[in-house]
Chains A and B, each alone.
Chain A
C-alpha cells in the first residue's frame, strides 16, 4: 500500500509527461487526477490505521548511497508525522489536479502541466516518508525543482522565468545551510538515519565545535544549519523574497506548492527533528524570533499590495511564521495542527482567487475588480469561508489552531513567549484586516474594470467548484474534528509519541479568560472596520496613506528587500565575475603566462637570429672575443 501511495503519482507523471501527445489531453488529465486520488484514498487508510492502531512501518526500498560508513537508503517511513503529511499532500494534490482540468482548459500544454504536478507530488511524498536526511534532501531539492518548472511554466514570460530562477537560487541558499547541517550530523553521529541520530543525541550534548572561528555547541549548530534550510523552503524573513514572485506560476500551482505543501516542508523539518531541537534552547529562541518577525513583516506588507495572489502569498508567509513560532516555543504538535488546517483554507483561498482570476480573464489587480459578488455567488461564498477560517473566526478551523499557537506562546512563561504572543495577537488583527480588504475590494463596492464588461464575468465550471467545496468543508470542520487528536491534552501525546519528542510536557494551564477572548473579539470587530475603511469611506484610507507616504512606500515595496539583495549580492557577483575574467584571466594570467612567455621566446630568438649574419668577419670577431675571455680567465686562475 505504501508503495502505491508513493509510486502512483510518479507513474502518472511519467505517462503524462512522455506519452502526453499520444494519449491526448483528456486522458492524461483524467489519468493523473485518478492516480493521485487513489494515492489520497490510500493515505487516508494509512492515517486511519496510524490513529487507531498506532501503526508504524519502515520499508527499505533499496540502497542509495553507500560509501564507507555512510549509508543512505531509499525508504518509506510511516509514523504519526508522516501520515499526517501524507494526507495533507495527497488530498490537496488530488483536488488541485481536478481543479486544474478546468483552470488550464485554455492552455496548450496540459499533459506537461499535469505531469509536473504529479511529479511534484511524488517528490513531496519522498520528502515526508524518508527515514534519513539524504532522502529528505532528495525530496527537498526535488520539490524545489518542480516548483522551478511550474513557476516558469509559461516560459514565454520573462518575469516567470526570472521568478523561477530566483525561487531556485534563494532556496539553494537555504539548502546550503541544510547540506552543511547534514554534513555536520554525519561528522558527529557517523550516520544520517533519523532513529540512529536521535538515539545518540544525549551522548553529544556537551560537545563543542569551532565553526568559522566561533566556539559553538554541536547541537546548537546542527539545529541552526538545518533551520537555515527550513527558512529557505518556508520563505521566512530574509529568504522569503522568492515566494511572492513565485505567483507568476499558474494559480493551482500556487495553491498546491506555495501554500499547502512545499512551503510547509520547513516546518515539517523542524518538527521531524524535534528530538534534536528539544536540546537546543538557542535554536528554539531563534526560530521563535524569526517566526514572529516573519508573521508580522508579511502581514504588514500584505496590507498594501494590490495583486490578489501576492496578498495571499504574503499571508502564507505570515502563517508559516506562526507555525515556526509554535515550534519555537516547543509546541510542535500545535505547529503541525496549524499546518494541517492552513493547508485547507489557504488552498481554498488560492483556488478561489484562481476562480476569480479565471472569471476576469486573467486580471489579478483587486483595484480592477469589485461589485461582482452576485455574479460569482459560489466563489464568493467559498472565499468568505476561506477568509473566516484564515482569520480565526470562532469555531472554524483557523480559530482552533491559531489561537492555540498564541495561547501556548503566552503560557511559555518567559519574555520571549510573551513577546511572541503579543505579536501573534497583533498580527491576527492585521491578518483579518488585509483578508477582508481583499474580499471587499474584489466582490463589493463598485465595478472598476473598464476592459471587461461586467456581463461577461462568469462563474467557474463545476470541475473547479467541486474541489473548492471539499476544501471549504475541510476549512470549516478540520479544526473542530481533529483538535483533540492533534493538540488535546491527553490524546495527542499518545498519537505523536512515535515522532515528536517533548522534553517537558506542554503546560496544561489555561491563559486568563480576557486573553482567550482577545483575539476572536479583535477578529470579529475588524470585519465591519474593514468594510467601513475600504468600501464605505475610502477617504480615510487615502488620507492615512497621504500623510504617511514614506511608511506606505516602505510597505508597498516590501521593505525594499529585493533592491537590497540586488545591491549586495547580485550586482557585485556579476562585477567580480567580470573582473576575474577580463582583468585576472586575460590581462594577468594570459599576458604574463603563455602569451608573455611566447613573446619572450620570440623576442630572444629574433635577437639570436641576428647573430647568424653570414659574414665571416663577424663570426671571427665573436670567436676572438670569446677566446680572449677564456684565456684571461685561465690566466687569472
Chain B
C-alpha cells in the first residue's frame, strides 16, 4: 500500500480548481469548466467508492494512513480513515457532483469562480474527515469557512453580506477556543497525533476545560441551541448549491468532531457533560420544531428542521451506546441526503417563481406531478417514516437514549410528532389544494437534469431505509472500538478514585 489514495482524494478537487482557474472565461469555456469540474468530482466519487470497497471493515485500526513530516517535525501531516470517516467521505464526494449539476439553473454570474469555490470546499471537507492530527484537522476545518463565506457573500440573496458575516463570526469565535485547546494539548502531551493521543490519554484534570473549548466550536457548527441563529439566515441567503453543501456536509463536520474528538479524546469530560448535551439537544428538538411550524419561508423552515435533526444526532452520540452512536452516524448520512434533497426542491421552485414564501404556492401537484412525487419522498424521509433512511437513524438514536434515560427519550420522541406536523403542513401548503396564484400555472415540471439529481437522492434514501446493512456494517467495528476505549477510561478512573 504505497499509493497515497487519501491524499489523492483530498487534492484531486484542488487540482481541478486550478485547471478551471486557468481556463479563460469566454462564454463557451464556461461550459468546459462545468464539465471539467463535474468530471473531476465524479472521478473523486468513484475513487471513494473504490476506497470503500478495499477498506477492511473488520479492523479497528486506522487504515490507509499517510504520515509525512511537516512543519519542522513539530506537526506531521497525518491522514487515515476508519469505518466512520469513510461514510462521510463518500457522502461528500456524492453530494459535490450533485451540487455542480444543480448549478445549471441557479448561478447566473461568475460561474467559474463558483465552481472553484465548490471544488475547494470538497478538498477541505474530505480533509476534515480523514485528518489524524489535530492541527491538520483544525486547518481543514477552518479553511472550509472561507469558500462557504464567499459562496454566501457573492452569490447570495439580498441580505447576503449580513448573513455571511454572521456565519463567519459565529463559527470563527467558536473555533478560536478550539485552537487554544489544541495548542494546550500539545503542551500537555507533546503531540497532536490523534492515534497517539487515543493511546496515552489526556490527564483528567484538563479534560473538562479542553472539552468545553472543543464543544464551543462544534456546538456552533452543529448548530446547537442557542447558537443556532446563524443557520436559518445563512440558508436563506445562500444559493441552492451552497445550502446543499452547508446542510449536507458542513453541519456533519461538527457531529463527526464530537465522535472523533470529544468522545475519543476526553471520555471523562464527555461523561461529565452528558446532562448539558441532553438538555441542549432536547431544547433543540422541541424548540426548533415549534419554530419551524410557524415559518413562512420554505428555506427557513427546512433550516430549523435541520437544527432539530441535528439535536437528535448530538443526543445519540452522547448516549454512549452502540445503538445511539450508530444511529447518530446513520442520521447524519441520512440527513445529509434528505436535507440536500429538500434544499434542491426549494431551489427548483425558486428558480421558476422567484419566491420562497410558502403562501405564494399551492396546488403544484396539478402542474408539476413529478416534482410532487419526489418532494413527497423527501418529506417522508425528513419525517422519519419506516422504509426511508430517516427512520433507521432516528429509531436507533431513541432506542439508545431510552437505555440511558426514559425521560429524555420520551421528550425527544415528542419531537417526532412535531416533525411530522411541520413537514406535512409545508407539503400540503405547497403541493396540494387549488391553484390560487395564477402565475404558478406557467411553471413547468422537472427538467431532465433535475430529475437526474433528485432521483439520485431518492434511491439511497429508500434503499438504505430498507437495507441499512451496508452502512451499519461499515461503522460497527469502529464504533465498538470507540466505546471500548470510552468504557475502559471510565472504569479505570472509577477504580483510581476508589
Q: Measuring CB to CB, which residues of chain A are less than 8 angstroms from any residue of chain B?
A: 62-70, 74, 134, 137-138, 141-142, 145, 148, 152, 155-156, 158, 161, 164-165, 168-169, 172-173, 175-176, 179-180, 182-184, 186-187, 209-212, 573-574, 576-578, 580-581, 584-586, 589-590, 593-594, 597-598
Question: Which of A70, A138, A173, A175 has the most CB atoms of chain B within a 10 A radius of its CB?
Answer: A70
Alpha-carbon separation in the docked complex, A390 to B472 (Å): 50
Q: Can you list 27 A-B contacts (CB < 8 A)?
A: A64-B466, A66-B472, A67-B326, A68-B321, A70-B323, A138-B387, A141-B385, A142-B387, A156-B434, A161-B428, A161-B433, A165-B428, A172-B420, A179-B398, A179-B416, A183-B409, A184-B402, A212-B406, A212-B410, A573-B293, A574-B294, A578-B294, A580-B290, A580-B291, A585-B229, A593-B227, A594-B169
Choice from B291, B418, B432, B468 contacting A155 with Cβ under 8 Å: B432
Q: Measuring CB to CB, which residues of chain B are less than 8 angstroms from any residue of chain A?
A: 165-166, 169-170, 226-227, 229-230, 287, 290-295, 321-323, 326-327, 363, 365-366, 380, 385-387, 391-392, 395-396, 398-399, 402-403, 406-407, 409-410, 413-414, 416-418, 420-421, 424-425, 428, 431-434, 466-469, 472-473, 476
Which residues on A sit within 8 Å (CB–CB) of B409? 180, 183
Contacts A68-B326, A169-B424, A180-B413 hold; do A589 and B226 have CB atoms under 8 A apart? yes
- Say whether A156 contacts B413, CB under 8 Å: no
Choice from A70, A578, A598 contacting B169 with Cβ under 8 Å: A598
Which residues on B sit within 8 Å (CB–CB) of A142? 385-387
- Say whether B290 contacts A573, CB under 8 Å: yes
- Say whether B466 contacts A211, CB under 8 Å: no
Q: Which residue of A lies closest to B385 (CB)?
A: A141
- Say whether B420 contacts A169, CB under 8 Å: yes
Q: Which residue of A lies closest to B287 (CB)?
A: A580
- Say whether A585 contacts B432, CB under 8 Å: no
Which residues on A sit within 8 Å (CB–CB) of B170? 594
Alpha-carbon separation in the docked complex, A182 to B413 (Å): 12
Alpha-carbon separation in the docked complex, A156 to B435 (Å): 9
At the interface, is chain A mostly helix, strand, loop or mixed? Answer: helix
Which residues on B sit within 8 Å (CB–CB) of A65? 392, 395-396, 468, 472
- Say whether B413 contacts A168, CB under 8 Å: no
Which residues on A sit within 8 Å (CB–CB) of B227? 593
- Distance in angstroms from B424 CB to nearest chain A CB is 5
Alpha-carbon separation in the docked complex, A589 to B226 (Å): 7
Which residues on B sit within 8 Å (CB–CB) of A186? 399, 402
Alpha-carbon separation in the docked complex, A431 to B180 (Å): 75
- Distance in angstroms from B125 CB to nearest chain A CB is 24
Which residues on B sit within 8 Å (CB–CB) of A576? 290
Contacts A156-B433, A161-B432, A183-B402 hold; do A169 and B417 have CB atoms under 8 A apart? yes
- Say whether A179 contacts B413, CB under 8 Å: yes
- Say whether B291 contacts A581, CB under 8 Å: yes
- Say whether B229 contacts A172, CB under 8 Å: no
Which residues on B sit within 8 Å (CB–CB) of A165? 421, 424-425, 428
Which residues on A sit within 8 Å (CB–CB) of B295? 581
- Distance in angstroms from A433 CB to nearest chain B CB is 38
- Say whether A212 contacts B433, CB under 8 Å: no
Q: Which residue of A lies closest to B169 (CB)?
A: A594
- Say whether B472 contacts A67, CB under 8 Å: yes
Q: Which residue of B lies closest to A213 (CB)?
A: B407
Choice from B226, B292, B406, B469 contacting A66 with Cβ under 8 Å: B469
Which residues on A sit within 8 Å (CB–CB) of B291? 577, 580-581, 585
Q: Which residue of B lies closest to A182 (CB)?
A: B399
Which residues on A sit within 8 Å (CB–CB) of B387? 138, 141-142
Which residues on B sit within 8 Å (CB–CB) of A62? 467
The 7 closest A-B CB pairs, nearest first, are A68-B322, A577-B290, A183-B402, A138-B386, A577-B294, A155-B432, A581-B291
- Distance in angstroms from B403 CB to nearest chain A CB is 6
Alpha-carbon separation in the docked complex, A148 to B383 (Å): 14
Which residues on A sit within 8 Å (CB–CB) of B420? 168-169, 172
